């Protein structure tokens, strides 16, 4: 009878032939960006911060990532926040902004062999008069490479514009500019969109010379769905370029693990892809934002130090701890168990030393135990084979990355039984390991909470503040005030990746309920500034933010508003006081006690409203538009 997908294949013979052909393996990595998803990591206590970094990057400890792709911040929302640009205004390059350079340095310190990859989702509004495909953008990317270089970082790969297609002349100019400016070693990835770029690469030798790697997004799944198989195009496979899943994932850190390992293994068997980049690296965001559990790990509580390691980290480790970029896939040792997708798939890779090898088998779609016979040949080691496994269909630390068996091949052959729902790695290498650091328990961020910012370095991220649009960073106070303040530094609408909103940021615990949020505010420009209270669920895009708002304008107009996660704003109360003017400091506050909302300016109550829609949520601050206003002495005080 014909083989039934999912039923037990009697036995599969895997020919691991070291003399065989196969593409060069480029690595397995993850994406910090696209964006804001790593934001709270840098605010973790030093001990837990290092443990999280170890679980992500330390060889033989956790996910052991081989490529780190980061966002080149553009002051614009790229999914879960806005990452800061190095150049908010033309000509003022501030290399110290944001956390991605810091993250790359941490990753390199743990694994000097990790490859680095930069990609922009958006860019500051001054660039190209709003046109991303401009010379300004090319010069801006060169400045970003310069900031990396100043930090001792060599960038291996650079992309164009995330999921916004490509402009052939722009890519060619980027290549020639990089070559002229001392970055000929930086490989350009085109186009972080779909496979269609390969059609033009095949048709146009100049374009082919400009692009070194073809990177496609989500080649193994429909929108948000789990991958069962991967696809490419004949133009891509015949291009002669390495083919990458330059973004994949968008799955929960535990339940997404089967799709993750399928995308890696079937990415090669189905589509000859040689790198896989998971979105995102980590969910270091509060739980009210989109995709709060996607990544290798979660770490949304810098105040408690709490974090968790996802099954996706162990699924990744089943490949990364057993290979290195530069190894070679062996086509002979790659395929489907019993020749049927339903039984699972396997890939084999050969070390650059020509002797060691690793075979990764995934049985995530199988329903019964199967026998695997391995025949080793072509100069590969006949030494002891170490078997490591992860029960990926039933995520549990107890069954992840277990050294389950050692086998001595006889005349280059051996057999094992594989259970359904697992990843097995068969290897002659050693040095694997499973980290032992343990997270502290979760806890709420206690009230009162306040920050004067006076100890913070210019250009740094205000502690715990998650910027959603624009660029909030610590700067010297204006208006004759001494010390440090928080300033919005994106002076105009950025080149956006998802829709526009006002420039704002959120801070604190989503369980806060009855409290007063207050802040000093300096209207540096005419317009409206705002405080957020009970900021809760956010849908995409970032304007779809559930919260109460207190807005004040330089004219003296004020309002208490309710913003909803469907993007509408309802005014609950409004009025006018004498003009606040610009260039002066004021103190504004919003009280939330049960359904009673009360607002004050400079200590005088200006109005109140009653609304029961939101009971809990974060505080926040913002401007309506992109004024470069400042904030200071943010305080969140509990109401009894
Ligand atoms: C990606 C973006 O590149 C990321 O910045 C982030 O927004 C992520 C969230 O899922 O989405 O874009 C996707 C494009 C295509 C698919 C999924 C995500 N898809 O076809 O499944």
Of ligand 1's listed atoms, the one at least distance from the Cα of 79 is 7
- 135: part of which helix (H) or strand (E)? helix 135-150
User: Which of 7, 8, 16 minimizes the C-alpha distance to 414?
Assistant: 16
Ligand 1 binding pocket mutation candidate from 247, 538, 540 (most atoms within 8 A of CB): 247
Q: Confirm whether 163 is a catalytic residue.
A: yes
Distance 250 CA to ligand 1 centre (A): 7
Ligand 1 binding pocket mutation candidate from 32, 34, 74, 259 (most atoms within 8 A of CB): 34
Pocket of ligand 1 (CB under 6 A): 34, 78-79, 162-163, 217-218, 221-224, 247, 250, 279, 291
User: Which of 294, 328, 327, 296 minimizes the C-alpha distance to 311?
Assistant: 296
Distance 295 CA to ligand 1 centre (A): 13
Of ligand 1's listed atoms, the one at least distance from the Cα of 250 is 10
Of ligand 1's listed atoms, the one at least distance from the Cα of 192 is 3
| pLDDT value, residue 230 | 94
User: Which of 96, 73, 92 minimizes the C-alpha distance to 84?
Assistant: 73
DSSP letter string, 220-283: T-STTPPPS-----HHHHTS-S-EEEEEEE--BTTTTHHHHHHHHHHHHHHH-EEEEEEE-SEE
The model's pLDDT over 46-68, given as tens digits with 9 standing for 90+, comes to 999 999 999 999 999 999 999 99
CA 263: distance to chain centroid?
A: 18
Distance 469 CA to ligand 1 centre (A): 19
With cut-offs at 50, 70 and 90, classify the pLDDT of residue 228. confident
From the candidates 247, 311, 341, 461, give the one annotated as an active-site residue. Answer: 247
| pLDDT value, residue 9 | 55
Beta strand 596-601 with 585-593: parallel, antiparallel or unpaired?
A: antiparallel
Of ligand 1's listed atoms, the one at least distance from the Cα of 497 is 5
With cut-offs at 50, 70 and 90, classify the pLDDT of residue 640. confident
With cut-offs at 50, 70 and 90, classify the pLDDT of residue 2. very low
Mean pLDDT of the chain: 96
Q: Give this prediction's pTM.
A: 0.97
Ligand 1 binding pocket mutation candidate from 31, 74, 120, 163 (most atoms within 8 A of CB): 163
Residue 1 pLDDT exceeds 50: no
Residue 4 pLDDT exceeds 60: no
| pLDDT value, residue 222 | 55
ipTM: 0.95
The model's pLDDT over 440-459, given as tens digits with 9 standing for 90+, comes to 999 999 999 999 999 999 99
Residue 6 pLDDT exceeds 90: no
Distance 218 CA to ligand 1 centre (A): 7
Q: Reduced to 3 states, what is the DSSP secondary structure of residue 585?
A: strand
User: Which of 618, 300, 632 minimizes the C-alpha distance to 474?
Assistant: 632
Average pLDDT over residues 477-486: 98
Distance 68 CA to ligand 1 centre (A): 17
| pLDDT value, residue 226 | 64
Q: Reduced to 3 states, what is the DSSP secondary structure of residue 173?
A: helix
Q: Confirm whether 83 is a catalytic residue.
A: no
Q: Whose CA is nearest to atom 3 of ligand 1?
A: 34
Average pLDDT over residues 280-285: 98
What residues does 485 pair with on adjacent strands?
Answer: 475
Distance 586 CA to ligand 1 centre (A): 41
Q: Whose CA is nearest to atom 9 of ligand 1?
A: 250
């Amino acid at each position: 009878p014909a083989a039934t997908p999912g039923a037990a294949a009697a036995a599969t013979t895997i020919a691991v032939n070291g003399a065989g052909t196969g593409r060069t393996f480029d690595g397995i990595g993850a994406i910090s960006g696209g964006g804001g998803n790593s934001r709270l990591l840098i605010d973790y206590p030093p001990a837990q911060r290092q443990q999280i970094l170890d679980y992500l990057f330390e060889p033989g400890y956790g996910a052991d990532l081989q490529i780190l792709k980061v966002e080149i911040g553009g002051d614009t929302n790229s999914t879960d926040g806005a990452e800061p640009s190095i150049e908010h205004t033309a000509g003022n390059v501030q290399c110290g902004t944001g956390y991605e350079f810091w993250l790359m340095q941490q990753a390199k310190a743990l694994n000097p062999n990790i490859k680095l990859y930069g990609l922009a989702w958006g860019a500051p509004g001054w660039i190209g008069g709003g046109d991303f495909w401009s010379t300004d953008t090319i010069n801006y990317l060169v400045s970003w490479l310069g900031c990396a270089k100043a930090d001792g970082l060599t960038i291996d790969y650079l992309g164009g514009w995330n999921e916004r297609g490509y402009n052939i002349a722009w890519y060619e100019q980027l290549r020639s500019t990089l070559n002229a400016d001392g970055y000929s070693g930086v490989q350009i990835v085109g186009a972080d969109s779909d496979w269609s770029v390969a059609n033009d690469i095949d048709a146009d030798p100049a374009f082919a010379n400009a692009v070194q790697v073809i990177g496609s997004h989500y080649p193994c799944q429909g929108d948000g769905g789990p991958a069962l198989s991967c696809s490419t195009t004949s133009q891509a496979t015949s291009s002669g370029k390495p083919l990458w899943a330059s973004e994949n994932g968008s799955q929960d850190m535990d339940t997404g693990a089967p799709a993750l390992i399928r995308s890696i293994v079937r990415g090669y068997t189905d589509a000859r892809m040689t790198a896989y980049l998971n979105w995102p690296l980590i969910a270091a965001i509060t739980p009210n934002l989109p995709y709060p559990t996607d990544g290798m790990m979660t770490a949304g509580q810098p105040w408690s130090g709490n974090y968790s390691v996802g099954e996706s980290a162990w699924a990744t480790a089943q490949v990364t701890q057993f290979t290195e970029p530069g190894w070679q896939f062996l086509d002979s040792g790659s395929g489907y168990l019993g020749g049927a997708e339903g039984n699972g798939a396997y890939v084999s890779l050969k070390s650059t030393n020509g002797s060691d090898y690793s075979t990764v088998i995934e049985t995530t779609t199988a329903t019964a135990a199967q026998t695997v016979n391995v025949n080793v040949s072509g100069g590969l080691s006949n030494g002891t084979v170490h078997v490591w496994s992860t029960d990926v269909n039933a995520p549990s630390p107890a069954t992840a990355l277990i050294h389950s068996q050692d086998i001595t091949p006889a005349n280059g052959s051996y057999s094992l039984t594989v259970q359904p729902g697992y990843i097995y790695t068969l290897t002659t290498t050693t040095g694997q390991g499973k980290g032992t650091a343990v997270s502290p328990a979760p806890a709420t961020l206690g009230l009162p909470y306040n920050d004067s910012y006076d100890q913070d370095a210019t250009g740094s991220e205000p502690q715990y503040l998650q910027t959603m649009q624009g660029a909030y960073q610590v700067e010297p106070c204006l208006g004759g005030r001494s010390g440090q303040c928080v300033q919005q530094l994106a002076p105009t609408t950025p080149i956006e990746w998802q829709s526009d909103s006002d420039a704002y940021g959120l801070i604190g615990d989503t369980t806060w309920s009855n409290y007063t949020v207050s802040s000093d505010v300096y209207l540096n420009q005419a317009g409206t500034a705002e405080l957020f209270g009970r900021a809760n669920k956010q849908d995409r895009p970032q304007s779809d933010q559930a919260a109460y708002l207190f807005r004040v304008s330089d004219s003296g107009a004020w309002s208490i508003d309710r913003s909803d996660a469907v993007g509408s704003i309802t005014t609950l109360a409004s009025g006018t006081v004498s003009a606040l003017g610009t260039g002066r400091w004021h103190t504004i506050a919003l009280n939330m006690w049960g359904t009673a909302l009360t607002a004050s300016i400079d200590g005088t109550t200006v109005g109140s409203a009653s609304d029961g829609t939101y009971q809990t949520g974060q505080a926040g601050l913002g401007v309506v538009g992109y004024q470069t206003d400042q904030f200071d002495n943010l305080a969140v005080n509990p109401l009894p």
